[in-house]
Amino acid sequence: MTLKIACLQLDIAFGNPAENKRHVQQEIEKVCQSSVDVIVLPELWTTGYDLARLDDIADENGADTKSFISKLARLHNVCIVAGSIAKKTAAGITNTMYIVNRDGDIVGEYSKLHLFQLMDEHLYLQSGESSGLFTLEQTLCAGVICYDIRFPEWIRAHTTQGAELLFVVAEWPQPRLEHWRTLLQARAIENQCYVIACNRAGKDPNNQFAGHSLVIDPWGVILAEADEHPCSLMAEIQLSKVKEVRKQIPIFQDRRPEHYISAEKNFQKNS
Ligand SMILES: NC(=O)CCC(=O)C(=O)O
């Protein structure tokens, strides 16, 4: 099966959910003219990193966002990996990703596990605890958020369950562009999965963002890469390629997890 992917590498209006929703709706309408299967949005696409105002602008239980993306998915017969938004609950605010299928059903919800202190997330956000696994177009997928890509063991926990596509949504700043590219390529090679990574473009009061959304195949080959400007990055992926690469070099059969755990314990004991 082939899937046509569109990563919407948007500039994001700081702290302005109404404007960002208007813009996203417009961009989704545009890319759907060329019949795409899956649309991906960046991290915190409704608010940006306006963390100090999240109490006022975060989405109560994600209700508005869920209904917004669900309607668009149904209308355009398209799956949407809806980046992430600030979700407000009685327990606090999380950085939460929603995934919706062509029928408009919410098929996944994941809240960012690793909070990024360099951008003050730990001061305003609660971390999530659930897995990022979901099924889209009969394919097991994983979703993670930005800083999560620096934790290969978290992503491995998803691919050992069989995830074949890894969606990464981000607001990754420009000064660490080479980390972004290298980490994403490494995650694709070591997990033998497609990596579909949607970053934002533009700047906010504190950061210039890198853009460079990427689609990488399970062999580590870059199929499509954006520059730093706002754009819709399109790519076609062949799902059969995952099984081919996993057959050629069977790393999931060759893993020795029992040794990794005992090695970690032994190293701690000896230090
Ligand atoms: N929004 C983020 O999680 C940014 C992560 C980041 O910039 C990094 O270097 O890691």
**Which ipTM did the prediction report?**
0.99
Look up 66 and say whether it is catalytic. Answer: no
Total domains, the chain: 1
Q: Are 211 and 201 in contact (CB under 8 A)?
A: yes
Residue 225: half-sphere exposure toward Cβ, Cα within 13 Å: 15
Pocket probe for ligand 1: among 110, 114, 118, the residue whose CB has the most ligand atoms within 8 Å is 118
Look up 112 and say whether it is catalytic. Answer: yes
**23, 100, 177, 203 from 12: Cα distances, Å:** 9, 21, 18, 8
pLDDT at residue 265 in the model: 77
Cα–Cα distance, 95 to 112 (Å, whole number): 6
* Residue 212 CA from chain centroid, whole number: 14
Q: Which of 132, 119, 121 has the alpha carbon at shortest distance from 176?
A: 119
Q: Which of 152, 146, 155 has the alpha carbon at shortest distance from 112?
A: 146
Point out the catalytic residue in the list 7, 27, 43, 164.
Answer: 43
Distance between Cα 148 and ligand 1 center (Å): 8
Q: Is 119's C-beta closer than 6 angstroms to any atom of ligand 1? A: yes
Distance between Cα 25 and ligand 1 center (Å): 26
Point out the catalytic residue in the list 21, 87, 88, 112.
Answer: 112
Distance between Cα 22 and ligand 1 center (Å): 26
Which residue intervals of 162-202 are DSSP H helices?
Answer: 177-191
- Domain extent, residue 197, equals 2-270
Q: Are 196 and 7 in contact (CB under 8 A)?
A: yes
pLDDT at residue 270 in the model: 76
Q: Is 229's C-beta closer than 6 angstroms to any atom of ligand 1? A: no
CATH number, residue 120: 3.60.110.10
pLDDT at residue 267 in the model: 77
Q: Is 265's C-beta closer than 6 angstroms to any atom of ligand 1? A: no
- Structure tokens given for 62: 């994600």
Q: Is 180's C-beta closer than 6 angstroms to any atom of ligand 1? A: no
- Structure tokens given for 158: 């998803």
Q: Reduce the secondary structure of 6-48 to three states and give it as a string.
A: EEEECECCCCCHHHHHHHHHHHHHHHHHHCCCEEECCCCCCCC
Look up 178 and say whether it is catalytic. Answer: no
Please tell me whether the overall predicted TM-score, pTM, comes out greater than 0.95 for this model. yes
Distance between Cα 146 and ligand 1 center (Å): 6
Pocket probe for ligand 1: among 120, 154, 171, the residue whose CB has the most ligand atoms within 8 Å is 171
pLDDT (tens digit, 0 to 9) for every residue of the chain, 271 residues total? 999 999 999 999 999 999 999 999 999 999 999 989 999 999 999 999 999 999 999 999 999 999 999 999 999 999 999 999 999 999 999 999 999 999 999 999 999 999 999 999 999 999 999 999 999 999 999 999 999 999 999 999 999 999 999 999 999 999 999 999 999 999 999 999 999 999 999 999 999 999 999 999 999 999 999 999 999 999 999 999 999 999 999 999 999 999 988 877 787 777 7
Cα–Cα distance, 70 to 155 (Å, whole number): 27
Q: Is 150's C-beta closer than 6 angstroms to any atom of ligand 1? A: yes
pLDDT at residue 181 in the model: 98
